[in-house]
Amino acid sequence: MSLIERQANIRIVLVNTTHPGNIGGAARAMKNMGLAELYLVEPKEYPAPRAVWRAAAARDILDGATIVETVDEAIADCGLVVGTSARERRIPWPLLNPRECGEKIYRESATHKTALLFGREDRGLTNEELQKCHYHVHIPSNPDYSSLNLATAVQVLAYEVRMASLADEQGNLPALTDWDQPPVKSADLEYFHEHLATTMAELKFYDPENPKQVLTRMRRLFNRVRMDEMEVSILRGLLTAVQRKIDRK
C-alpha cells in the first residue's frame, strides 16, 4: 500500500468542538504531518470564518472534512479506534503513550481504517465514547498545567504518526503480524455488544435497571482481545442459539 493510501486510512475525529478556530488549527496540524481525513462530530459552530483563518494553507483539509451527527457514524468502518484521555478512569482501559499510539495507528493503516478521537475542549470524551475505543492515549504534559489546546493535542499525535511513517520508510518499524481475517469494524462490534447485552438480560445474568459495571467490563474485555470479523460472527451465532433456547423454555 502506498503512503498516500495509508494516510487516507488515518482519520482524525473531533467531537463537539466548541471553538471553530480549533478546527482550523487541527486542520493545519494535520496537513503539517501529511494527514487529510478530518471528521467533525456535531461541531458547535461550523462552517465558520475563524476556522478558515486558523487553517491558513490547510483550507483543502476543511473543504474535504466530513460532518456527522454521532461518534458511531465517524468510526463505523474503522478497525482500530484510539481515544484521547487526560485523566484516569474508574475502570482503567488499555493505555498507549503518544509514541506507541503513532506506531500502532500507522502500522494498522496498512490494512484497515483507523481513527484518533479528540473530545470537547472543556471536558474531553465521555465515558461512553471512550468505551468505544480499543485503546486510550494520554499525552504526559506538565502536571502543574496539564490542559492542552485541542489543536496542540492533534499536532502532538499527528507528529508521532509522521515519525512512525518515517521509521517505516527506513525499515525501522516492525511489520504487522499476518492474520487470516480482518479486524471487526466498529459498527459491527457495536451490534455485537448490543446483542450480548440483550442476551445476558434474557438470561437474567444482570439487571438492566442496575447494570453496575458488568457491560463496561465486558466491553473492555472484548475490545482488548481485538476480535476479527469471523470471531464476532461466531459469537453472534452463539448468542442467537442461546436466545432460541431461552425462547423454547
pLDDT digits over 101-146, tens only? 999 999 999 999 999 999 999 999 999 999 999 999 999 999 888 8
- Domain assignment of residue 118, yes or no: yes
Residues 54 and 86 in one domain: yes
Q: Which of 169, 202, 232 is the last residue of a domain?
A: 169
Residue 179 within any structural domain of the chain:
no
Are 37 and 145 found together in one domain? yes
23 and 119, same structural domain? yes
pLDDT tens digits, one per residue of 41-54: 999 999 999 999 99
- Of 110, 143, 169, the position where a domain reaches its end is 169
The reported pLDDT for the residue numbered 58 is 98
Residues 43 and 135 in one domain: yes
What contacts 218, CB < 8 A, 6 or more positions away?
A: 193, 196
In terms of domains, do 82 and 36 share one? yes
Could you tell me the CATH number of the domain that includes residue 216?
A: 1.10.8.590
Residue 139 domain flag? yes
Contacts of 201 (CB under 8 A, 6+ apart): 208
Residue 1 reports pLDDT greater than 90: no
In residues, how long is the chain? 249
Residue 177 is assigned to a structural domain of this protein? no
Cβ-proximal residues to 153 (8 Å cutoff; 6+ apart), any chain: 84, 118, 139
155, 113: one domain: yes
For residue 138, the enclosing domain spans: 3-169
As a whole-number percent, the residues of the chain with pLDDT over 90 amount to 86
In three-state secondary structure terms, 39 is strand
User: Do 32 and 141 belong together in one domain?
Assistant: yes
Give the ranges where the chain is alpha helix by DSSP (H). Answer: 3-8, 20-32, 49-55, 59-63, 71-75, 98-108, 127-130, 150-169, 186-202, 214-225, 229-248
What are 116's three cell numbers?
484518533
Query: Are 157 and 61 found together in one domain?
Result: yes
Q: Is 79 inside a domain boundary?
A: yes
Q: Is residue 164 part of a domain?
A: yes
Q: Is 77 within a domain?
A: yes
Regarding whether 65 and 34 lie in a shared domain, the answer is yes
Q: Which of 144, 169, 194 is the last residue of a domain?
A: 169
In the chain, how many domains are there? Answer: 2
Same domain (yes/no): 30, 122: yes
d(CA 86, CA 105): 19
Could you tell me the pLDDT band of residue 2, with boundaries at 50, 70 and 90? confident
The answer to whether residue 175 sits within a structural domain is no
pLDDT at 233: 98
Please check whether residues 94 and 127 belong to one and the same domain.
yes
Same domain, 110 and 136: yes
Q: How confident is the model at residue 88 (pLDDT cuts 50, 70, 90)?
A: low
Buried-state track 81-101, b at ≥16 Cβ within 10 A, e below 16: bbbbbbeeeeeebeebebeeb
pTM for the whole structure: 0.94
Q: Is 104 within 8 Å of 80 (Cβ atoms)?
A: yes
DSSP string, 76-144: TT-SEEEEE-SS--SS---EE-HHHHHHHHHHHTTTS-EEEEE-BTTTBS-HHHHTT-SEEE-----TT
